[in-house]
Amino acid sequence: MGNKAALITLLAGILLILVPVGVSAEPVVEWEKTFGGSDNDYGWSVQQTSDGGYIIAGETRSYGTGYSDVYLVKTDPAGNLQWQKTFGESSDDSGHSVQQTSDGGWHGGSNSL
């Protein structure tokens, strides 16, 4: 009986080591914001900026000159809107990536360029 009890105790100990107790896989939401207008607007890329804020690239059908235009949104670290800009012509334009450059500007990729 002593060997069985020792084996059960050892297996229980291994299970406690292998199975973390109370660990949550859910991410912590720091903030949620909605940007855009009354039509379909999409964010395709989000990057953190050097000031701790975020730059979001996507497309808007709410603003701009064409059916859809490139839509850039810049926030502060708390997600508050700092500025938003649209770029495009009369056809469909959509921004799919954006990065901050070393001189503080922006470089992006679009399906219209």
- pLDDT per residue, tens digit, the chain (113 aa), is 555 555 455 555 555 555 555 666 788 888 899 999 999 999 999 999 999 999 999 999 999 887 899 999 999 999 999 999 998 888 888 888 888 888 878 777 554 43
* pLDDT of 112: 40
Give the residue extent of every domain in the chain: 39-104
With b meaning 16 or more CB within 10 Å and e meaning fewer, what string describes 49-88? beeebbbbbbbbbbbbebebbbbbbbbeeeeeeeeeebbb
* pLDDT of 66: 77
pTM of the model: 0.69
